[in-house]
Structure 1
Amino acid sequence: RPRVCIIGAGIAGLTSAKYLKDEGIDFTVLECAYYVGGMWRYESSRTYDEFHSILHTAMISDLRLNIPHPAMELPGYPMPKHLHFFPYAQTYYYYIKSYAEHFNLMEHIQLLHNVTSVRREGNVWKVIHDNVLKNTVHEDEYDFIIIGTGHFSNANVPKFPHEELFKGVILHSKNYRVPTIYENHRVLIVGAGTSAWDIIIDMLKYAKTVVHSHHSKQNIKTKFPDQYIRKPDIKEYKENGVVFVDDSYEEIDDVIYCTGFNYTYPYLDPSCGLTVNKDHVLPLYKRLVNINEPSMVVLGLVRRACHVVALDAQVRYTTALLKGDFKLPSKEEMMNVWQKEVDNINCNGRPMSDLHLLGDKEDQYYRELSDESGIERVPPVMSKLRNVSNETKLENLFTYRDYIYEMIDDKSFRRTERVKKRERLDGKVAESIVFVADDG
C-alpha cells in the first residue's frame, strides 16, 4: 500500500483521513494551524494566531450555514437531530472537531506543521515541512499526495483608481468579523457572492446605509429596507466616498471587498506539473487528478456545488484509486478529456475559471466519478437540495433559513415552512412541498 501525505486538516483532509484509515492505508496529515477544521474555526484576530502563523479562517462571528445541514454532513457521522437545519458556523466547527475525535483521526495529524515544499524526485514525492512550535525542519518521502488546503485563505483584492486618497477603512471579507463596529457608518459592500449577502444581512442591523456595488445578474427578489442602496461597479475613489461607473457618488466610511479568493499553493515545486492561476488550476482530470503526475490530487476546487458532498465524492474516488479498485486512463487520454473541456470553454467565450464550475452539471459530475471508479453514486437529491435552497435564498435573503428540510429518499425531500408560535395562533398553516430530483 502507498504512503500518503494529506496536506491540510480541514473537511477535505479529515474526510480523506477517515476513508484511508478505514482501508488501512498508511497516511500522515500535515496541518499548519494548531487546530483541525480549517476555515470553519472562528478567530477574533484578523491576521495571526498565537503562534504568529497566518490565519486561514474567514469566519464571521454569527455566521450560519447557507445550505441545509443534510448537505453538510460528514461521512458516517450524522449531525445531532436537535440542530437547526441552518446551524451557526461555530456549531458546525465543533461538529467537525468531534468528527475527528470520534474516528480517532488526531493520532494521524501533525498540527503546527507547515508544508513549505512538495517536489517530485524520481518515483517519490519529497515533502518539506516546518514544525512551527519547535522551529525544526523535516523532509519525508511519500508515494501519493492529497492536497486538501482549500482555496479560502488568499484574498482576491481588486484595485481601483485613487484608492490611496480614501480616508476610510478598506478591508476584505476575509478580515470581517462583527457588524457592531459599523454602527451608524456608511458602508460599501463590493461583490455579490455568498459572503457579500451574509455581511449585508448582518450589516443592515447596524449601519446607517449599506451601499452595494456589483454587476451580478442573479435574480434577487428580496425586498430590502431603504438603507440599502444598489450601485454598479466602482469607477474611482474620492477622499470621503466613491464614484461609480454611472458617475453617481456616495459618501462612504468603510469598504468591504467581498471579491472571493485566489487559488494558491505556494509549496508546489514546478516538478509537480501543475500550473496554478489565481482562478484556476491546470491540467486536472475530473477536476481532481494532476494529469502530469497522477499520484497527486487536488480536492475541493469545484464551485457551485454542495461543497461537502463534492469533497466526499472526490475522496471516495481517490480512495478507490489508492486501493487499486480501478485504473486511470493513460496520460494522453486524460489530457484529451481535459483539452475538450478547455476547447468548449474557449469556444463559448467563457473564463478559464469555469473549468471548476459544476452548477447544473453537478449531478452529472458525481455520476462520472461513480461510473469510472465504482464508488457509490451521490444521491441525485443532493444536487436538487442545493438548487432549491439557492432559489429559496434568492426569494428572500432574510427568511430562507426559516425552513425545515427532510430527506425522503435518494431522489426527494420535503421543504416545510417554519411557522412561529404567534403565527400559528393567528391561524397560519405551514406550507410543505415535496421536491423530486431528475434522475438524469
Structure 2
Amino acid sequence: MMPIANPRVCIIGAGLAGLTTGKNLQDEGIDFTILEATSNFGGTWRYEPRVGFYENGLPVFTSMYKHLRTNLPKPTMELKGFPIPSNIPSFPTWDVYYDYIRKYVQHFQIEKHIKFQHYVIKVSRINNVWRVKHKYLPTGEEMEDEFDFVIVGTGHFNKPNRPVMKGEEFFKGNIIHSHDYREPEPYRNKRVLTVGAGPSGLDITMDVATVAKTIFHSHHSPQNFKTKFPPNYVKKPDIKEYNETGVTFVDGSYEDIDDVIYCTGYLFNFSFLDESAGLNVSSKTVTPLHKFMVNINEPSLIIIGLIEKACLAIALEAQARYTAALVKGKFSLPSKEDMMKEWQRRADLCIARGRTFSNLHFLAEGEDDYYEELSKESGIERVPPVMFKIRNTDAEAKIENLYTYRNYVYEVIDKNTFVRRLENETNSVS
C-alpha cells in the first residue's frame, strides 16, 4: 500500500475508538471526518435513560446503566497524552469517566471534525476508493462521499445477543437484555432471574440484588468466584424452559420468576460493509484481519476495537496510534501472503487453546505480546508491560471478592512495576 500525500479519511463512530483515532491522526497532521449517528460523542460511555429507539427511528446504541463503575482501575483507562486527574477515584463511575472523555475531546479540539446525526448506510470499495453512503437523520437526506481510508470505530456492544428459550412465549413476566437495563428500582421486592456471568452479568446481578426479593443467577461460568453473596442470592444452572409463572432449570429445579434479564453479551454488527469490503463477517468474528484490525484483503479499511479480554481503553488507543502511523505512511504492512500466514497462526493457536472461533478476538493472556507486536511493526511507543500486570492482579481481586476489588488503588511506578494499596491506606503492596 503506497503512502498517500493528503489522504481522505473517514472514521465511523465518535466513541472512544473514533475519538482516539481522530486525535492520533491529528497528531500526524492528517485531516479526517467522523460520521456519528447520534447527536453526542462518547459512544457506550454516554448514559441514555431511554431504551429502544429515538424519535427519528435510530436505535439506542449505548448499554450504559446508572450505577456503573469501571471494572478496571484508572491507570488502565488513561488515554495517552491526557492524564486522568489524581482526584478521580481508582474505579470511577461512568459519569466521571465520561467527563474525562469530554475534556479529552475539548482539549484536542476533536469535535470540529464530527458530523453528528450522520448514519452510515453502506461502505463500498469501488475503483480503488471507498464510497461511504450516509444519511443526515434530521432531514433524511442521503449523501455519498469518497475516501482513501475508512476506519470503523463503532464497537461491538450495541447488538444484543438475545437467546430465545423453550416456552418463553408463555411466560407472563418481563424479559429484557442487559442492553436495556438502566437501574435496579423497577425490580424492588421482585423475584428476578439474571442470566450470564460476564462483567455486565455480575455487575447487574449485584445491582439488582440490592432491591430484589430474590435474585436467581443462572450461569455456567467455570470461574470459581469466592465472593460471599447476600442472603437473597441464589445460584442456578442453565435454563431448560419457561412456563407462565417461572423457569425450570436443567437440574430439574423450578423457581417462580417475575422478571428476567439476559446478560448474554453482544453480536458483531457491521451491516454497512458490503461484499466489496472483502471481509467475512459473522455474529462473533470478522476475518481476515491483520493485528485484529487491518483488513488483509483491502488494507485501507481498518476496524478499531474488535478485541476482547483486554484493557480496552489502552488497547483502543494503541490501535489508534498504529492506524495513524499506517495512514501517514510511517511503515509498510507485510505482504498479503505474510499477513494471511500470521492470521492463520492466530486462528490455529485459538483452536489449540481449546477455544472456539467465537474467541478469535480474545487477547487474554496474549495481551502484552500484542502490544509488543504493534510497536515492533509500526514503530509506535509500546504500551508498558505494567498495564497487563495490573489487569491480571485486578482479575485475581475480582475472583476473591466482587464487592471489594474496587477498594484498591493502583499506582504505576515505572513501565514494569506498580504498587497496590487499599483506599485510605498508606502501606503499599506489590
Q: Which SS does the other structure have where 2:34 is aligned?
A: strand
TM-score (norm 2): 0.97
**CA RMSD between the two structures:** 1.2
Check if 1:57 corresponds to 2:53. Answer: no
**1:279-428 to 2 correspondence within 5 Å?**
279-419=284-424
Aligned to 1:4: 9
Shift of 1:2: 1.3
The residue type paired with residue 274 of structure 1 is: L
How big is the shift at 1:24? 1.1
Distance (whole Å) between structure 1 residues aligned to residue 232 and residue 103 of structure 2: 41
CA deviations over 1:368-403 (Å, ceiling 9, x no partner) = 111111111110000111111111112111111111
Tell me the amino acid that sits aligned with residue 409 of structure 2. Answer: I
Q: Distance in 1 between matches of 2:135 and 2:120?
A: 6
**Which position in structure 2 is the counterpart of 1:425?**
none
**Structure 2 SS opposite 1:117:** strand
Q: Which runs of 4+ in 1 moved over 4 A?
A: none
1:197 corresponds to 2:193 = no
Alignment of 1:271 with 2:276, yes or no, is yes
Q: Does structure 2 conserve the Cα–Cα contact (< 8 Å) formed by 1:285 and 1:334?
A: yes
Q: Structure 1 residues 76, 347: CA separation in 2 closer, same or farther (over 3 Å shift)?
A: closer
Match in the other structure for 2:3: none
| Deviation, structure 1 residue 348 | 5.0
Contact 1:64 1:86 (C-alpha < 8 Å) held by counterparts: yes
Could you tell which deviates more after superposition, 410-419 or 2-11?
Answer: 410-419
Partner of 1:108: 113
1:424 is matched with: none
CA positional deviation for 1:235:
0.6
Amino acid at match of 2:429: I
Cα distance per residue 1:280-335 (max 9 Å; x no partner)? 11111111110110111111111110001111111111111111111111111111
- Is 1:432 equivalent to 2:428 in the alignment? yes
Aligned to 2:157: 152
Partners of 1:116 and 1:129 within 8 A in 2: yes
Deviation, structure 1 residue 432: 2.7
The yes-or-no answer on 1:66 pairing with 2:71 is: yes
Of stretches 48-57 and 23-32 in structure 1, the one that deviates more from structure 2 is: 48-57
Name the CA distance, whole Å, in 2 between partners of 1:302 and 1:163. 32
User: Relative CO higher for 1 or 2, CA cutoff 8 Å, sep ≥ 6?
Assistant: 2
- Provide the secondary structure at the position in 1 that maps to 2:10: strand
Confirm or deny: 8 A CA contact 1:287 1:355 kept in the other structure: no
| CA distance, structure 2, for counterparts of residue 281 and residue 312 of structure 1 | 20
CA shift for structure 1 position 137: 1.0
Shift of 1:238: 1.3
Superposed displacement of residue 347, structure 1: 4.7
**Equivalent residue for 1:121, pick from 119, 126, 137:** 126
1:86 aligns with 2:91: yes
Gaps of 5+ in 1: 420-428, 435-440
Change (3 A) 1:342 1:84: same
Q: Which amino acid aligns with 2:296?
A: I
What SS class does the counterpart of residue 405 from structure 2 fall into? coil
Kindly provide the amino acid, as one letter, of the partner of residue 317 in structure 1: Y
Report the secondary structure of 1:379's partner residue. Answer: coil
Deviation string 1:152-209 (CA, Å, 9 cap, x unpaired) is: 0000001111110111000000000010111110000100000011111111110011
Amino acid at match of 1:266: S
- The one-letter code of the counterpart of 1:220 is F
Cα distance in 1, alignment partners of residues 312 and 48 from structure 2: 22
Alpha-carbon offset, residue 119 of structure 1: 0.2
CA deviation after TM superposition for structure 1 residue 346, in Å: 3.7
- Mapping for residues 128-143 of structure 1, pairs under 5 Å: 128-143=133-148
Q: C-alpha displacement at 1:90, in angstroms?
A: 1.5
Deviates more, 1:258-267 or 1:318-327: 318-327
Q: Structure 1 length normalisation: TM-score? A: 0.94
2:168 to 148, 163, 168: 163
What displacement does 1:430 show? 6.1
Distance 2:426 2:251 in 1: 44
Q: What secondary structure does 1:364 align onto?
A: helix
Identify the range of structure 1 (104-113 vs 74-83) with the bigger mean alpha-carbon deviation: 74-83
Match of 2:38 in 1: 33
The 10-residue stretch of structure 1 (388-397 or 189-198) with the greater mean CA deviation from structure 2: 388-397
CA–CA distance in structure 2, aligned partners of residues 381 and 329 of structure 1? 29
Percent identity over paired residues: 54
